[in-house]
Amino acid sequence: MNVASDLIKEWFVPVAVNGHNGGRSDGENGQFLRSVGVRGGNTFHVVTADGHVLFGGPLSAINTDVRGTLTGALRKWAALPEEMRKPGGVRVPAPKYPPKQGLVQPPPGGLVLRTYTRNLKRGPAGELARITKADVKDRKLYPDVNWEWADAIFTQPMPDVVWLTAAEWRSLVPARPHKGDRYVVPAAIKMRLFRYHLINGSFGLPTQWSVDEFVRGELTLTVEEVAPVLRLRLRGSALMAEDKGPAAARRGYDAHLSGVLEYDADKGAFRRFDFVAVGDWWGGDSEGGRFARPGRAPLGIAFELARGDRASDLIPPKGQPFKDISAEYFAAERRP
């Protein structure tokens, strides 16, 4: 969609809708969305405020002329009667909140982390660096990037969220901390991070690693300061692969983790939860070899505390319906 972003910003009001919940995201239990043809995900609609459909269907930029489609919708808009286009010409009932169905919330009292997955490269001295659009034109390094939109997979980060329950994040705070104390992150949190979030999501909605694809890994916290806030140093490593013999695995991630957590005892909350996972990824996406880079290539995944000031903070992890992932997501250390 980046090929028409200027057009969208100037002429349209973009709205993202969670199609996985049956389109029940408009505050009227989906009445407006269903009336304009929204039935699921991976579709795109251009609609007037009163429900007049100017375009409806897939718009992936793989098999669609995005700019041409949007320009055509604008021509249809211009042909509408003036009273349908001028400000105040259309009256839309105020939505009723909360919606009757489809509203997904993080666990009560829980903690939400934002994540950003980014493909990286190594510079002349081996240093990590961002991939540029010019880099992606090198077909030896990026052989499968043959669609105009696909350079964003390598040049832009892909967001996601992590959910921790109230009991889980509290388990990270030692009752009687002393500088230098070191302890292991509980298995439920560690395996959730490793299985669900140490995966290359830059391609889109990824799957998760199975329990058997966890080869080895550890995650620890060390007390660095006790006052005025509790400061914890996070360190760890993880090797995830589709085969217990990583050398033969079709896909894998060998990463090191490092970061800082700060807990404010007076407020009873974390004020900082920053860490990164950096390592070598090999293989393509969850469907196989799409967008696979030759050999092993660096992949970075950053985590930070969500402030709750973005609508995206309320999207379930992996963008999936909560009911479809909750049973395993909150028991990632167990075998299904």
66 contacts 58 by C-beta, under 8 angstroms:
no
Residue segments in the chain with a per-residue pLDDT below the cut of 70 = 1-3, 18-30, 39-41, 58-64, 88-104, 144-150, 205, 244, 285-290, 319-325, 336
Give which of 167, 302, 182 is closest to 233, Cα–Cα. 182
**Cβ-Cβ contacts under 8 Å for 261 (sequence gap 6 or more):** 172, 221, 231, 232, 234, 270, 272, 273, 274, 275
Cα torsion 281, 287, 293, 298 to 10°: value is -20
| All structural domains of the chain with their residue ranges | 2-85, 111-329
Q: Which amino acid is at 126?
A: G
Residue 328, beta-bridge partner list: none
Residue 260, beta-bridge partner list: 233, 274
Q: Which amino acid is at 92?
A: V
Output phi, psi for 138, to 5 deg: -80, 105
Residue 283 is predicted with a pLDDT of 83
Burial of residue 163 (CB within 10 Å: 0-12, 13-18, 19+) is buried
* Tokens at 309, concatenated: 């000031």
Quote the DSSP letter at residue 262: E
Nearest-angstrom CA–CA distance, 273 and 6? 35
Cis peptide before 228 (omega within 30 of 0): yes
CB atoms near residue 334 (< 10 Å): 12
DSSP secondary structure of 211-257: GGGEEEEEEEEEEEE-SSSEEEEEEEEEEEESSSSGGG-SSEEEEEE
Tens of pLDDT along 209-252? Answer: 999 999 999 999 999 999 999 999 999 999 999 876 777 788 89
Q: Where are the alpha helices (DSSP H) in the chain?
A: 5-11, 31-35, 66-78, 82-85, 133-136, 151-155, 166-170, 187-192, 322-329
Output phi, psi for 21, to 5 deg: -95, 25
Q: Which amino acid is at 206?
A: P
Residue 4 is predicted with a pLDDT of 73
pTM confidence score: 0.80
Residue 1 is predicted with a pLDDT of 43
155 contacts 98 by C-beta, under 8 angstroms:
no
Tens of pLDDT along 86-138? Answer: 776 555 566 554 444 555 678 889 999 999 999 999 999 999 999 998 888 88
> Phi-psi region for residue 109, left (φ > 0), alpha (ψ -120 to 50) or beta?
left
